[in-house]
Amino acid sequence: MKVIKFGGTSLADGPQLEKVIAIIDADATRQVVTVSAPGKRFSGDTKVTDLLLQYAQAAINGDDTQAIVAEIAARYQAIATYFHVDSTAIMPKIIEQLQHLAKQHYPSFDYLYAAFAGHGELLNAQLIAFILQATGHNARFVSPKELGMQTTGAPRAATLAEISYQKMAWFTLASDEIIVVPGFFAYDEHGYMNTFKRGGSDITGAILARGLKATVYENFTDVSSIYAVSPKIVANPAPIAKMTYREMRELAYAGFAVFSDEAIVPVIKAGIPINVRNTNEPAAPGTLIVPENEIATTHAITGIASDDRFATLYLHRYLLNKEIGFTRRLLDILYRHGISYEHMPTGIDDLSIIFDKSLTSRAQFEAMIADIRTEIQPDILEWHTDYALIMVVGEGMQEMHGAVANIIEPLTEAGINISMVNQGASRISVMLGLPADQVDAAVKVIYEQVY
Ligand SMILES: Nc1ncnc2c1ncn2[C@@H]1O[C@H](COP(=O)(O)OP(=O)(O)O)[C@@H](O)[C@H]1O
Ligand SMILES: N[C@@H](CC(=O)OP(=O)(O)O)C(=O)O
């Protein structure tokens, strides 16, 4: 059995869903179908998830929500209309669930946002199961709850409770049936809808692959390959035919938006290969992501990823490295404010902390900085919100001599100033930190150098 996941771009409208159904039909073992919410139909369009977040905001503000509900419903209606199905049997249910969202009580705004956002996938899975049935498939909608999936943690950045896998082992799939499972969300122990982080339908697919013991996890998107560098930065970059889990995890963390970094973890545990493929070119083999022992390294560097979602705090204080308990006091402040950090490179008198801006609000950061000023009293404190990281990743880097010099020298020649270099911990990557406005230029220079 294969688990297949279709991203928002693969489900944006009727013609896209038609391609998806052809892909399901082409292989009888593609029985577990995970779906995202309808994504962008064209550049500048708005994803249904983002429309739902607008709806959530309007509901919080007490604004009139009729127009936004109609806009969201129209996205589903257009898909139903394309397939000429009897939409009176499904659309009223979709509209009712949308309207019900604004009438419910939530423990906090975070729970409210999570519930609104997750409905993009919930309603799409219901609609797709309905269309599959109407077009002669033995298909049914299956909720994450029915499968035994249970979330834990923050409502909008949840993780799966480990107990879920025991429950999932009890789920039985008939030999000839197709199940359609909404991606991106599940319910917590109190029954509240929680979502994984944005892009989290990839995570659902990976959980299903592990929990239902798939032979492969096929992840269908809108590119025929994972490329050595983002096609948004370099035109026609080199495709990657095969890579390891840990290469993918590091690259995904640092900006390869094509696959979510957290989605690697469940499949690693089960050793299931991931195959990233293109809905618009289903015959292309795509990229295979496999365990470390299944790959013979062909080149030292597999990929170069970059992301500007970071901020950095720089602290300078003489004899900082001699002061016992300094780091602990600093981390206590972060802990008190509920802030997690990404990296903390240190020198003898200096320390930087790199944060992921998408995880923390501006107000939280400001309160944290105020406490650091009073409690730590650094000689210099700088806060930079436009910070980017580049990850140069490859299994072959472990044996490569002069890897860092090979990357840094051409950047220096190009006048690009790198403020942080970190190699070592993972042995398969070099991490560079730099101002966000220089990141694309730096990625191009590195790509030219290593490919
Ligand atoms: N290294 C890369 N290789 C391929 N695609 C990449 C890479 N880095 C970023 N992307 C982007 O990821 C996009 C696909 O991911 P996403 O938008 O999440 O798709 P989906 O809608 O299928 O979930 C591609 O269109 C591409 O622009
Ligand atoms: N729809 C959710 C989850 C997701 O995975 O979407 P997509 O497949 O469009 O990246 C989001 O926008 O975050």
Model pLDDT for residues 356-386, shown as the tens digit of each residue: 998 888 999 999 999 999 999 999 999 999 9
Q: Is the CB of 205 under 6 A from ligand 2?
A: no
Tokens of 428: 């398969």
H or E segment and range at residue 23: helix 14-25
CA-based Rg of the chain, rounded to a whole angstrom? 23
Q: Is the CB of 447 under 6 A from ligand 1?
A: no
Residue 5 CA from chain centroid, whole number: 13
Which ligand is in closest contact with the Cα of 221? 1
Whole-angstrom Cα distance, residue 434 to residue 207? 35
Which ligand is in closest contact with the Cα of 10? 1
How many whole angstroms from 222 Cα to the centroid of ligand 1?
7
Protein residue with least CA distance to atom 18, ligand 1: 258
How many whole angstroms from 401 Cα to the centroid of ligand 2?
40
Nearest atom of ligand 1 to the alpha carbon of 221? 22
Q: Report how far apart, in Å, the C-alpha atoms of 175 and of each of 30, 32, 139, 170, 397 are.
A: 11, 11, 12, 15, 45
The three-class DSSP label of residue 215 is coil
- Tens digits of residue pLDDT in 218-257: 999 999 999 999 999 999 999 999 999 999 999 999 999 9
Which residues have a Cβ under 8 Å from the Cβ of 185 and sit 6 or more positions away?
Answer: 114, 117, 118, 121, 122, 144, 151, 193, 194, 195, 196, 200, 204
pLDDT of the chain along its 451 residues, tens only? 999 999 999 999 999 999 999 999 999 999 999 999 999 999 999 999 999 999 999 999 999 999 999 999 999 999 999 999 999 999 999 999 999 999 999 999 999 999 999 999 999 999 999 999 999 999 999 999 999 999 999 999 999 999 999 999 999 999 999 999 999 999 999 999 999 999 999 999 999 999 999 999 999 999 999 999 999 999 999 999 999 999 999 999 999 999 999 999 999 989 999 999 999 999 999 999 999 888 766 678 999 999 999 999 999 988 887 888 889 999 999 999 999 999 998 888 999 999 999 888 899 999 999 999 999 999 999 999 999 999 999 998 887 778 888 899 999 999 999 999 988 677 899 999 999 999 999 999 999 998 8
- State the pLDDT at residue 297: 65
Burial class of residue 162 (count of CB atoms within 10 Å of its CB; 0-12, 13-18, 19+) = exposed
The strand pair at 242-244 and 287-290 is best described as parallel
Q: Report how far apart, in Å, the C-alpha atoms of 153 and of each of 84, 109, 266, 362 are.
A: 42, 15, 17, 21
How many whole angstroms from 47 Cα to the centroid of ligand 2?
8
- State the pLDDT at residue 450: 87
Residue 216's beta-bridge partner residues? Answer: 2
Whole-angstrom Cα distance, residue 99 to residue 229? 42
Q: Is the CB of 7 under 6 A from ligand 2?
A: yes
- State the pLDDT at residue 451: 84
User: Residue 112: what residue type?
Assistant: L
DSSP state of 291: -
Backbone angles phi, psi at 188, to 5 degrees: -85, -175
> How many residues comprise the chain?
451
Q: Is the CB of 118 under 6 A from ligand 2?
A: no
Using DSSP, how many helices (H) and how many strands (E) does the chain show?
14, 19
Task: Classify the C-alpha dihedral 217-219-220-226 as positive or negative.
Answer: negative
> What does the DSSP assignment read for 34-46?
EE-----SSTT--
The strand pair at 420-423 and 429-435 is best described as antiparallel
Burial class of residue 432 (count of CB atoms within 10 Å of its CB; 0-12, 13-18, 19+) = buried
Q: Is the CB of 232 under 6 A from ligand 1?
A: yes
Q: Pocket of ligand 1, candidates 236, 248, 258: which has the most ligand atoms within 8 Å of its Cβ, to mutate?
A: 258
Please state the ipTM of this predicted complex: 0.96
The closest of 238, 240, 234 to 252, measured between CA atoms, is 240
**Domains in the chain and their CATH numbers?**
2-222 (3.40.1160.10), 303-450 (3.30.2130.10)
Whole-angstrom Cα distance, residue 13 to residue 2? 24
Q: Is the CB of 36 under 6 A from ligand 2?
A: yes
**Side-by-side strand order, sheet with 429-435:** 350-356, 303-316, 380-393, 429-435, 420-423
How many whole angstroms from 242 Cα to the centroid of ligand 2?
24
- Tens digits of residue pLDDT in 149-185: 999 999 999 999 999 999 999 999 999 999 999 999 9
